[in-house]
Structure 1
Amino acid sequence: ADAVRREVLAGLAHDLRTPLTSLRLLAEAIEAEANEDRRRRYARQLSTHVRSLDCLIDDLFELSRIEAGNVDWPLEHVRLHELVEETVDAFESTMAMKGIETQMRVSASLPPAWANPEKLQRVLFNLVQNAVRHTPPHGLVSVAAEAKGARIEVEVRDTGEGIGASERERVFEPFYRAGGETPGAAGLGLAICRAIVEAHGGSIWLAESSRGARIRFSLPSAPP
């Protein structure tokens, strides 16, 4: 337990220090820069790092609330078809720049899940974001969902470098980055996905894949 705590604290220190260092350097550059156009560009970059830091802090609060059992979320019928479409659309420009193709296999007639729509979209957003980040130019990101008995099963798949066998057990741990350091990744996305899915009475796992990463999760179907 102590070793895990030390590793988490080290990850937290690293992920806070990186944007803070950038903020300090950009603030110094703005102060010293006489050219107004460059000052504005530095200011925009500073704002980006502030938003990144805000997201990291939000993720930490989300994890702490869930681990403390503070999960009194209102549940409702959630149509996966609409939610997946909205989530994938959010990455349209990023995927277009990389030439990434997308496939969505989520039927409009799929039975609804019993979930909190905001939290479920957070799970989908994190998984699609990971897939887009790790997929090389002209690769493929796919999202599929199907009914399996009294549950809805969702899959997000990419054609990136995949996850090594030695890392498969750790990818859902906070601050763990498969394959080492990943620019722009705090290592909290999959940990939050697991916490949210399990708080809904579901499960999430890394499925076998001959190419890229293939993450699946299941949630209860909505009651009649």
Structure 2
Amino acid sequence: MRRSPSSRFQTSQTGVSSISSSTTAGFVAPRSLTQILARPKRRVASRPSIRRARIARPELSAQFAAGRSSTARTSKTRSTASLLVRGRILGAITFATSKPERRLQRPQVEIARELARRIAICIDNARLYREAQDASKQREAVLAIVSHELRTPVSTIDVAATMLLHGGTEPRLRKPAETIRRACERMDKIIADLLDMAAIQSGRLRVEPKDVVAIELLNEIIELHEPIASEKGIKLIRDFDLEGVHLLCDRDRIQQVFSNLIGNAKKFCQAGDVICVHAKVTGKRAMFSVEDTGPGIPAEELSHIFEAYWSGEAGKKKGTGLGLFIANAIVKAHGGELSVASKLGHGARFSFTLPTSDLATH
């Protein structure tokens, strides 16, 4: 029967112990500890012999104290190495054997040295990861507070601009008022993206799947974007037959996905280009695609397209770089994944699937 690492450790003839820079013992193989120190099987707290370990000496990272030492009942051969990383001593690790005739050979010492090096790296990586997590949480908290605080003045400005537009404003003031409104809408979108970004990074992005009539959802989305696309000379068309199809999804969040995909296509397309929304049902999932005849995406950018804050070079268009990242997170929250297919000069196609509802009728 194959023995687990822990069981091999429990019965090992070679003692293995570790201590931290605070001179507190870590782990000791119980059997060898009993033989070597004639003490009960237990974890070891601070001991005088451990406190004497010269772990504060950096040179211990390159050399081992190998030799025989004796206790009242037995003798042992021991090798000790410090856990050194980034010029900092984290602790020490000791290997010992209870057999007087057995000395640790050079290959074993080399293994001990390599083990000490890897342990030090693992400890350091764990520390760096914890610090990165703490910094990320602080950034998310600040981001959420700032975003919420920005929303109030932006809403006030938007309301004032709307009142100007609908209050018999002089013709010469209408254009500035419209510009202010568009700027407010843009600012509100950025704030919403930042809040979603914070929610995604902290694992708090919420979706509330409900029964949604597919044809109503897509028609609403197209009707929302068609006027703006038409102004740019871009044709927005549909290619689907979803009669009787129901989806199990968060309606607002999926509208957000389509808005990001169609908005992204409009940003890169020129007059005369076409954006098509495709949909079909396969089994218990519906597949959706947003395809355009725009400039396409360079091959080297495809692997980064769903990264946060990533903004491609094609078209030199500016943006927060969060739209596709957020869209992908929303799709994943519905059990799917957003994918992209593109060739430079031949447009792009973004696809994802959603679960259908049991209320679907075909």
TM-score range, shorter chain: 0.7 to 0.9
TM-score (norm 1): 0.76
Q: Secondary structure at the match of 2:253?
A: helix
State the partner residue of 2:200.
Answer: 66
Cα–Cα, structure 1 residues 193 and 54, in superposed 2: closer, same or farther, change >3 Å? same
Range with bigger deviation, 112-121 or 42-51 = 42-51
Match of 1:221 in 2: 356
Residue number in structure 2 paired with 1:136: 270
Q: Where does the alignment leave 5 or more consecutive residues of structure 2 unmatched?
A: 1-128, 137-142, 148-169
The answer to whether the 8 Å contact 2:247/2:357 transfers is: yes
- Pair 1:182-2:317 in alignment: yes
Q: Residue 106 in 1 paired to residue 246 in 2?
A: no
Deviation at residue 207 of structure 1 after TM alignment: 2.2
Please point out which of 310, 314, 326 is paired with 1:192. 326
2:189 alignment partner, SS class: helix
Deviation at 1:129, TM superposition (A): 1.1
In structure 1, how many angstroms separate the alpha carbons of the residues matched to 2:176 and 2:235? 33
Offset from partner CA, 1:20-41 (integer Å, 9 cap, x none): xxxxxxxxxxxxxxxx876664
TM-score w.r.t. the length of structure 2 is 0.49
Q: Distance in 1 between matches of 2:194 and 2:186?
A: 13
Q: What is the aligned counterpart of 1:212 among 342, 347, 359? A: 347
Between the aligned partners of 1:39 and 1:220, the Cα distance in structure 2 is 49
Deviation of the 1:223 alpha carbon: 3.2
Q: How many Å apart are 1:170 and its aligned residue?
A: 0.8
The Cα offsets for residues 68-101 of structure 1, whole Å up to 9 and x where unpaired, read as: 2324432112222221111111122222222222
- Aligned-pair distance for 1:48? 2.9
Q: Distance in 2 between matches of 1:81 and 1:135?
A: 26
**Does the Cα contact within 8 Å between 1:76 and 1:115 map onto a contact in 2?**
yes
- Cα 1:160–1:72 change in 2 (3 A) is closer
**After superposition, where does 1:48-127 map in structure 2 within 5 Å?**
48-109=182-243, 111-127=245-261
3-state DSSP class of the match of 2:228?
A: helix
Rg comparison, structure with higher value: 2
The structure where strand makes up a greater share of residues is 2
Contact 1:203 1:219 in 2 (8 A): no
Counterpart among 293, 305, 311 of residue 159 in structure 1: 293
Q: Unpaired runs of 5+ in structure 1? A: 6-11, 17-35
Please give the per-residue CA displacement for 1:126-157, whole angstroms capped at 9, x wherever unaligned.
11111122111111110011112221110000
Q: Aligned AA for 2:340?
A: L
Q: Which whole-Å deviations, capped at 9, do the CAs of 1:27-67 have from their partners, x for residues lacking one?
A: xxxxxxxxx87666445434432332221111110122233
Partner letter of residue 68 of structure 1? S
CA distance in 1, matches of 2:234, 2:294: 11
Aligned-pair CA distance for 1:158? 0.5
Q: Distance in 1 between matches of 2:181 and 2:232?
A: 24
Task: Describe the shift of the 1:149–1:130 C-alpha distance in structure 2 as closer, same or farther (beyond 3 A).
Answer: same
- The whole-number CA distance in structure 2 between the counterparts of 1:173 and 1:64 is 14
Tell me which moved more, 38-47 or 197-206.
38-47
Q: Verify the 8 A CA contact 1:77 1:112 in the aligned structure 2.
A: yes
Count how many residue pairs are aligned between Structure 1 and Structure 2.
195
Give distance in 1, aligned partners of 2:244 and 2:286: 9
Residue by residue over 1:167-221, the C-alpha shift from the partner in whole angstroms, topping out at 9 and shown as x without a partner, is 00111112111226414x3211111100110011111110255710110011222
Q: Secondary structure at the match of 1:207?
A: strand
Q: Distance in 1 between matches of 2:281 and 2:244?
A: 7
Q: Is the 8 A contact 2:208 2:250 kept in 1?
A: yes
Contact 1:172 / 1:191 at 8 angstroms: preserved in 2?
yes
Could you tell me how far apart the structure 2 residues matched to 1:208 and 1:37 are? Answer: 45
Q: Determine what percentage of the aligned residue pairs are the same residue.
A: 30
